[in-house]
Amino acid sequence: MKKNLFLSGALLLNAFAIFAQDDLTKPQTTEVWEPQPKIVTPADNNAPPSDAIVLFDGKGFNEWETLKNKAVEWALKDGAMTVVGGKGNIKTKKTFGDCQLHVEWRSPIESDTLKGQMKGNSGVFFQQRYEVQVLNNYQNKTYANGQATAIYKQHIPLANACRKPMEWQTYDIVFTAPRFRKNGSLERPAYITVLHNGIITQNHVELQGATEYIGTPQYKMHGNGAIELQDHGNAVSFRNIWIREL
């Protein structure tokens, strides 16, 4: 009886093996039907897709405030916001983690006496810590890890895709926020991908820590944070800003 049971079990296992082998020859075996991706309706001309949060549509500063939670004092004209030197950085009222950000910016025409970092300087900060540089680098040389689309002082862009001053430029940025353990130590660093005017300039680069002007970057535990735009004294303009939470 035991011998027969053993033979029956062996035959059953062999049958399952043959069935599995046969099953792998069918395309249906490797098809996954659930869960289905959510439907997102795209838009034309860099307009926000259906699931985007519109941060700036040219009509007002409803989604923005100063770093001291006061009303924004940047200029608003012709559907764009423009830095007014000395009025300070601004940030979104909402906070974000992993996200896809679209922002259009324009550098002003400035004196030829201004060079390098003094020309059309601003920045886009994720979680108020990690900066993607904004700078007029059209025929304007500066240190490579400080030019437009640099992860400031960390990663040199793969290309200089800058347009002339007073021409609108686009940043499409994918930000993956860092993860921290309960004890505050870093579990996974942040990553950024940047397309500048449709050209990839940062390809899923690993951030070494928060942006520092002087010294080396380091991580400190934090949660979600605001998107911040920099007042560096130059009259840089922004328009059509939207974000998708990932």
Give the DSSP per-residue string, 73-129: -SEEETTEEE--TTS--EEESS-BSSEEEEEEEEPPP--TT--GGGSS-EEEEETTT
Residue 125 lies in a domain: yes
Domain interval for residue 170: 53-245
Residue 26 lies in a domain: no
Q: Is the peptide bond before 35 cis (omega within 30 degrees of 0)?
A: yes
This prediction has a pTM of: 0.89
pLDDT digits (tens, 9 = 90+) for 104-128: 999 999 999 999 999 999 999 999 9
Rounded Cα distance, 26 and 5, in Å: 32
Residue 109 lies in a domain: yes
Taking phi over 0 as left and psi of -120 to 50 as alpha, with beta for the rest, 129 belongs to alpha
Residue 89 and residue 67 in contact, taking contact as beta carbons nearer than 8 Å: yes
Rounded Cα distance, 10 and 16, in Å: 10
Residue 130 lies in a domain: yes
pLDDT digits (tens, 9 = 90+) for 9-27: 555 555 455 555 557 889 9
pLDDT at residue 6 in the model: 45
Those residues of the chain that have pLDDT short of 70 are 1-22
pLDDT at residue 5 in the model: 47
Residue 196 lies in a domain: yes
C-alpha separations of 150 from 90, 128, 166 in Å: 20, 16, 21
Residue 181 lies in a domain: yes
- CATH no. for residue 181? 2.60.120.560
Residue 31 lies in a domain: no
Which residues, including other chains, have CB under 8 Å from residue 166's CB and lie 6 or more apart? 106, 107, 108, 109
pLDDT at residue 23 in the model: 78
Number of structural domains (the chain) is 1
